[in-house]
A and B are shown apart, each in its own frame.
Chain A
Amino acid sequence: MLPPIITKSRSWACALAVLAVGACATPPPADDPEAVAEFRETNDPFEPANRAMFEVHEVADRFVLQPVAEAYRDVLPQPVRNGIRNALGNLRAPVILANDLLQGNISRARITLGRFMVNSTLGIGGILDVARDWGVPGHSEDFGQTLAVWGAGEGFYMFVPLFGPSSPRDLVGQGVDIALHPLTWLGQGAAVDAAGWVRLGLVVVDTREALLEPIDQVRATSLDPYSTLRSAYRQRRAFEIENREVYGTTVAPSGVIGYGQGVTQPAGPNPEPTPPPPR
């Protein structure tokens, strides 16, 4: 049973959603325990509103995001795109480091710090992932994951247009990640602003490019893309939080948030792991 405050704030939020879009999901009758269990597990009380948001997003995606991501892939050769992805991931290193530390994971924090130092210098500002070639692949972290490690549940499901699947926990996490990022606070003036927008634009395009095949696949094969994405997002987040190392792949090195549904580092499986370089 939920504490009354949560129930209250949830029904209050639901009322807001009703005002905004139209309706909340109707809970199943209490005499059908299986249906109630399923409803809880799905945990999508604002499903009608979320589905409306999803439709909005799909239109924007088909007309803008997807064509831009396809053009990006067509115009730039893969080595250039890899360099961009590496550089974006490297720029995010301070946020990853902070979250490694907040999760109390010193060994992963050392990896992030070491990679940042090596790639920023020898890797020419992060364009080359030298540390990976040395057998130290990167990983992603975000404050949503940190909250999960601290014991916060993800909460109900949300679909945010242009942003994708999320939850209150992950949305808060993204706000904190932006606040944690040194670039948010660094400098001012037109040039800095422009650089910030370029970075944001590249992150969006890079993330969407990485998702071209997965999303095409979902659209082609799913009977209900909305619920497929919902399930995939949840499983993916659980997997990211678990920090299980997948040999040869790295989870979402560059995504602003690392919320990806299959966003992985380009390039093949790692060479045989070699001892980390002396620090």
Chain B
Amino acid sequence: MTTAPTPRTLPVPDLSLVVLVGATGSGKSTFARKHFRPTEVLSSDFCRGLVADDENDQSASKDAFDVLHHIAGKRLAAGRLTVVDATNVQSEARRQLVRLAREHDVLPVAIVLDVPEQVCAARNALRPDRAGLPRHVVQRHRRELRRSLRGLEREGFRKVHVLRDVAEIDAVEIVRERRFNDLRHLTGPFDIIGDVHGCSSELESLLTRLGYVDGVHPEGRTAVFVGDLVDRGPDSPGVLRRVMGMVKAGHALCVPGNHENKLGRHLAGRKVQLTHGLAETVEQLAREDEAFAAEVRAFIDGLVSHYLLDGGKLVVCHAGLPEKYHGRTSGRVRSHALYGDTTGETDEFGLPVRYPWAEEYRGKAAVVYGHTPVPTTSWINNTLCLDTGCVFGGRMTALRWPERELVDVPAERVWYEPVKPLGAAAPGGHQGRPLDLSDVHGRRVVETRHLGAVAVREENAAAALEVMSRFAVDPRLVPYLPPTMAPTAASKEDGWLEHPAEAFAQYRADGVAQVVCEEKHMGSRAVVLLCKDAGAARERFGVADGPTGSLYTRTGRAFFDDPAVTEEVLDRIRAAVTGAGLWDELETDWLLLDGELLPWSLKSTGLLRHQYAAVGAASRAVFPRALAALEAAEARGVDTGGLLARQRDRAADAAAFTEAYRRYCWTTEGLDGVRFAPFQLLAVAGRSLAAVPHDRQLAWLDRLVEADERAGTGLLRRTGRILVDTTDADSVRAGTDWWLELTGAGGEGMVVKPLGAYVRGGGRGLVQPGVKVRGREYLRIVYGPEYTRPQHLERLRERHLGHKRSLALREYALGLEALDRLADGEPLWRVHEAVFAVLALESEPVDPRL
């Protein structure tokens, strides 16, 4: 043995496919165990065992490698470093692994254990399962390995580490290197600057507006350039000098654009066409000294295709990047980052048609990029194009991060005539394009801020898809669906199934003292999205052709088939909002209202006729005859065993049932007789109001109703309410009396809500946002005419509220999530995801009478 070699470090990118290469017995498994986590290592022997119950069954190799490649693929797709522990002495085996690495845009790394034959043989001899291994196997492995050594780089391995003997192997240390594009540890704040194209003067103005003084921000902000610094404009060298200086000094980052790439190739002496403004740059650079050109060349060579910043929340690149490429390293990642994706078609100007990758983008990180000049910047699915065509006479735009503020300066003049007019839509289209099925389909988990992950099952999503597709109004106009609400626990009082006592007690137990009892209107739940005008609807919700909002049911269906009627309702509510001065007070040009549309018979005629009225009709037809028959039989002396009395009671119950539903029916003529009772103002521009206490909510709504009364449309209806302190017996009594009076006069009942609207209990998560307490007569509609009979009541009290309560909370959290996402200006698919989930959950099995 020779002297101990100096310890050697092997750099390995932290996301890579590490391929161990060595003959059997060369110590690969031991090496892997020593340097990598057990779950990072995939061994072919182990996979052979998985598929064939024998780690040495060579006939199972093909299947074993299928399994190995499959698992490796899953790991790489998930962004996890993976080590392949197999001999890999044959080029075909390595070729497959290199291809796998490329498929997942990670770097393949080879570590070769070049161990003498006798060492391998000796080690194999010590293993009972390999003791009989013929000598020629190791020899063949060694031969193949030797043959391979020189070609490994050519095969595509980006790093090749060859370890020549046992001592060297024992002495090495693996060092995981951060990828060049991984700057997640940098948190900025950043000022991301769009395409410059040699517009040096505008760049200086923009930097000044952003607060930079000679390339340095006094508050330590970092500028990030999205590339295309050069070409077309008047002073590419000036721009390069500024940016290179800032980058060198650590005040800026820069990713390459396609124009830098081409310039770099030109500077490297490659033959490129001097088109698209390169000629201007070359000419301008010719006036600089050679040292500057060399500096530019080195600068361009050193640019990294894209950066992950701010903990991974921000990705900056030149032409946009789908999520699966974030933080990845491959030729195609670089190509996409620099050039974007194209459809293969060309447009009428002869330019390649760009693939709308942003439209499909569903990633968590914001992607900020440039490349395609757009008239105005706008967020699309959490992506933003900053190229506002300064060189073509547009503007130069920057994004402040994390503030998400846009700062821009106008072009001083048209520096370069565009090939095609700057009128085209942003790449990725506008919000009017449809959502993608993968946003909603199948089993899904929706992350909510208030209740964590909420799961949606496949069959429920399937039902929701059908309703959303066939019946709902345009998803852009359905930014919210109301959650279901649990009833109060069953009452123990004689003759009552529901009573306020339990509701008050429940909130008392939850630590909620102040509650508001709101009159429950018996109609149909209705959500109103109201914009100040068609312009606001177009601007905020992206709908063209006139709708100024929407009026929809709890499954997202339009209340009125005729859009003109919807608009008329919206007009009246809009007038009330204007009359109440809420547009200005709430600084908004749209709002979202939750309420009840009356009468019940307006929308639910089918149900009323087939289910409710039919019961009454049948009763009225049957009972007189049945009672007459029983009376006649008794008159004949037949003992009916109390049947007559029971039937009389039933007849009375049936009459009470009919009266119960009739209270909620009245005839309407056009909009005459139609009422809308708003009970919550859910959201306005940029804000969710779901957590605003109910007394403030009701004060706003009262002003709406008053304004509507002044206008005399008769549309809006006030919601009666009383505040109750659940810890004060007198207050509870007053609340109970109020409810008795309300339901005694035919009211449906009330909803008890924590006054604070959004309440979290002591460590127990969300408190129910509301509990309904329905009136005794009303419940006949739900539980049948005769439910008040003691024997029925007793059985009905055994109702299980657990699932309903859980459902109510999950839907509530999803509703809040939709409102929060809407307020944050998140992309349509994110809002729709939460809304869709509410609809899906509504199809979960739960007793519909609760």
Whether both chains belong to one complex is answered with no
Residues of B within 8 A of A (CB): none
